[in-house]
Homo-oligomer: A and B are copies of this chain.
Amino acid sequence: MKTYLECIPCFFKQALIASQIAGADEVTQKKVLDKLSQMIPDFSLEQKPPEMGKDIYALVRDVTGNPDPFKEIKYRFNKIALNLYPNLKKKVKESKDPLLTAIRLSIAGNVIDYGTPNSFNVDDEIDDTLKKDFAIFDYEKFKNSLTSTSQILYLADNAGEVVFDKILIEELNKEIIYVVRDEPIINDALIEDALFCEMDKVAKIISSGSDAPGTILEYCSKDFLEIYKNSKFVISKGQGNFEALSEETKPIFFLFKTKCYCSAKDVGCNIGDIILKSAL
C-alpha cells in the first residue's frame, strides 16, 4: 500500500503519542516533531507507511533516549491476553465453527495496538468481532488452501495479540513458523513477547530481521526471506503487515481490522471493518 497524504498528519500524531509514552518532556516532544518535519519533504508517497513508521519510531527512540517506549504497555497487554486465554478457548470450543471463531478472535486481538491512535476496550472488541460481518471474507479460499498445506508462515503483529494468534494456531493444527519483529517498534511483538505468551509450545518462533512496523521485505533478513519465498501459505496479521505486503502475489491471507481512513480507502471498506482477504 502506498502512503496517502492523509497519513502525514497521522505520522505527527503517532510521533507525539510515542514521545509522550516514552516519558519525554514537552521540549523533547517538540524536538521530535521538529525533526519529523525535516524528514517529510524527503519522504516519497510511493513508500509504504511502515517504512516511514520505522523511521519515525527510530527518531522517537533516538531523541527521547528511550530504547523501548512501549515495553510496559506490551507487558501489560501480554498479561491481560494471557488471563483471557481460558475464556477464549471456551468460546472457540463452544462455537459452531471453531476455525472461524478462532479467526475472528485473532482479529479481535489485533485491537491491542497503541500504534494507531484510537482507544479501545478489549472485552467489547471481542464481543463485537465475534458478531460483526466481514467486509472482505475469503474464508472458502482460506479453508481450501488449508487442506493442501502442511506448513504455515504466520506474520505476527502486536504483543498481547500473540495469545489470540495462539488460539487460532491451535485450531489450524499445522506446522507453524511464527514471525515477530527483530527490535522494539511500537507495541509490536518481539521474541520475548512470543515466549511470554507461550507461543513456543505450538510454533517455531523466528524474527523477520527487521524493526519496521510491518513486514517490509527489503528490510528483512536473508534467513527470513528464504523461508518467505518457499512458503505456500502465509497468514499476515494486522494493518502494518497488510500495508507492507498488499501488493504481493503470493498465497497470503490478510487478517486485520482497518484502523484508519487510509487503509480502509485502500481496501475499499470502512474504518473498523474486519477483513479476511486473500492476496491472490
Q: How far is the CB of A248 from chain B (nearest CB, A)?
A: 25
Is A195 an interface residue when CB atoms closer than 8 A count as contact? no
Is A6 an interface residue when CB atoms closer than 8 A count as contact? yes
Q: How far is the CB of A28 from chain B (nearest CB, A)?
A: 10
CA distance A37 to B40 in the complex (A): 7
| Contact digits for A4-15, partner B, Cβ 8 Å, 1 yes 0 no | 011011101100
CB-defined contacts of A30 to chain B, threshold 8 Å: 5, 45
Is A26 an interface residue when CB atoms closer than 8 A count as contact? yes
Among residues of B, the one whose C-beta sits closest to the C-beta of A6 is B16
Is A29 an interface residue when CB atoms closer than 8 A count as contact? yes
CA distance A13 to B261 in the complex (A): 13
CB-defined contacts of A40 to chain B, threshold 8 Å: 33-34, 37
CA distance A34 to B42 in the complex (A): 9
Q: Beyond A8-B12, A30-B5, is A41–B38 a contact (Cβ under 8 Å)?
A: yes
CB-defined contacts of A34 to chain B, threshold 8 Å: 40-41
Max chain B C-beta neighbours (<10 A), residue from A5, A29, A33, A41: A5
> Which of B5, B8, B9, B41 contacts A10 (CB under 8 A)?
B9
CB of A33 within 8 A of CB of B5, answer yes
Q: How far is the CB of A266 from chain B (nearest CB, A)?
A: 15
Q: How far is the CB of A120 from chain B (nearest CB, A)?
A: 18
CB-defined contacts of A38 to chain B, threshold 8 Å: 37, 41
CB of A5 within 8 A of CB of B16, answer yes
CB-defined contacts of A37 to chain B, threshold 8 Å: 37-38, 40-41
Among residues of B, the one whose C-beta sits closest to the C-beta of A39 is B37
> Which of B5, B9, B26 contacts A9 (CB under 8 A)?
B9
The 10 A-B residue pairs with the shortest CB-CB distance in the complex, in nearest-first order: A9-B12, A37-B40, A9-B13, A34-B41, A37-B37, A9-B9, A8-B33, A5-B29, A8-B12, A5-B16
A-B contacts, 6 listed (Cβ < 8 Å): A5-B26, A9-B9, A9-B10, A33-B40, A34-B41, A38-B41
